[in-house]
Structure 1
Amino acid sequence: AGSIAFLVVNVFLILIAAYINLVVLALTFIMEVIIICFLLFTLEQLPLPLEIAMLAIFSVICLYGTFASLINSTFGKTLFPMGPTLFKVTLEKESITTSPPCLTPFSHQTSGLRTLAKFLDAGGVCGIPTDTVYALAASCKHPEAIEKIYNIKDRPLEKPICICISNLEQLTTVHPPFSPLLWEFMRNVYPGGISCIVKKGEWLKKLGIGPAYEKVGTKDSIMIRVPDHTVTVHLTDMTGPLAITSANPSGEPDSTHQDMVISRLGHKLSGVLCDGESNESVPSTVVNCTKIEEGTISIIREGCVPATKVMQILERVKSQLE
Structure 2
Amino acid sequence: MLALVSIICFYGTLASLMNCIFSQRVIPMGPPIIKEKVKQEACDEPSCPVASSRLTSGLLKIARLLEDGGVCGIPTDTVYALAASCKNPQAIEKIYNIKDRPAEKPICICISSVEQLVAARPPLSPLLWEFMRNVYPGGISCIVSKGDWLYRLGVGPAYDRVGTRDSIMIRVPDHTVTCHLCDITGPLAITSANPSGESDSTHHSMVINRLGHKIQGVLCDGDSNEVVASTVVNCLRIDEGVITIVREGCVPAIKVQQIFDRLKNSMI
TM-score between the two structures when normalised by the length of structure 2: 0.88
Match of 2:199 in 1: 253
**Identical amino acids, percent of aligned pairs:** 66
CA–CA distance in structure 2, aligned partners of residues 207 and 140 of structure 1: 10
Residues 144-185 of structure 1, C-alpha deviation per residue, up to 9 Å, x if partnerless? 000000000000000000000000000011111111110000
Match of 2:21 in 1: none
Tell me the CA shift for residue 96 of structure 1: 1.5
Instruction: Say which one has the larger Rg.
Output: 1
Match of 1:154 in 2: 100
Aligned length: 251
What amino acid is aligned across from residue 96 of structure 1 in structure 2?
E
Tell me the CA shift for residue 92 of structure 1: 7.5
Q: Does residue 183 in structure 1 map to residue 129 in structure 2?
A: yes
Q: Does residue 122 in structure 1 map to residue 109 in structure 2?
A: no
CA–CA distance in structure 2, aligned partners of residues 316 and 109 of structure 1: 41
2:10 to 23, 36, 45: 23
What amino acid is aligned across from residue 179 of structure 2 in structure 1?
V
Q: Does residue 95 in structure 1 map to residue 40 in structure 2?
A: yes
Q: Does residue 137 in structure 1 map to residue 87 in structure 2?
A: no
Instruction: Name the SS of the counterpart of 1:186 in structure 2.
Output: helix
1:285 to 231, 239, 245: 231
Match of 2:168 in 1: 222
Match of 2:57 in 1: 111
Tell me the CA shift for residue 320 of structure 1: 1.8
Change (3 A) 1:95 1:290: same
Instruction: Name the SS of the counterpart of 2:141 in structure 1.
Output: strand
Residues 219-261 of structure 1, C-alpha deviation per residue, up to 9 Å, x if partnerless? 1100000000000000000000000000000001000000000
CA–CA distance in structure 2, aligned partners of residues 222 and 25 of structure 1: 72
Instruction: Name the SS of the counterpart of 2:213 in structure 1.
Output: helix
| Runs (5+) with no aligned partner, structure 1 | 1-20, 28-64, 66-71
Residues 26-63 of structure 1, C-alpha deviation per residue, up to 9 Å, x if partnerless? 99xxxxxxxxxxxxxxxxxxxxxxxxxxxxxxxxxxxx
Q: Does residue 311 in structure 1 map to residue 250 in structure 2?
A: no
Instruction: Name the SS of the counterpart of 1:192 in structure 2.
Output: coil
Instruction: Name the SS of the counterpart of 2:220 in structure 1.
Output: coil
CA–CA distance in structure 2, aligned partners of residues 96 and 25 of structure 1: 32
Question: Per chain length, whose mean CA-contact separation is higher, i.e. which structure has more relative contact order (CA < 8 Å, sep 6+)?
Answer: 2
Match of 1:168 in 2: 114
Change (3 A) 1:110 1:320: same
| Higher normalized strand content (fraction of residues) | 2
| Higher normalized helix content (fraction of residues) | 1
Instruction: Name the SS of the counterpart of 2:154 in structure 1.
Output: helix
CA–CA distance in structure 2, aligned partners of residues 115 and 272 of structure 1: 10
CA–CA distance in structure 1, aligned partners of residues 66 and 81 of structure 2: 13
CA–CA distance in structure 1, aligned partners of residues 153 and 40 of structure 2: 50
Tell me the CA shift for residue 22 of structure 1: 2.9
Q: Does residue 213 in structure 1 map to residue 159 in structure 2?
A: yes
CA–CA distance in structure 2, aligned partners of residues 95 and 142 of structure 1: 37
What amino acid is aligned across from residue 9 of structure 2 in structure 1?
L
Residues 192-223 of structure 1, C-alpha deviation per residue, up to 9 Å, x if partnerless? 00000000011111111111000000011000
Q: Does residue 269 in structure 1 map to residue 215 in structure 2?
A: yes
CA–CA distance in structure 2, aligned partners of residues 281 and 312 of structure 1: 23
CA–CA distance in structure 2, aligned partners of residues 307 and 89 of structure 1: 64
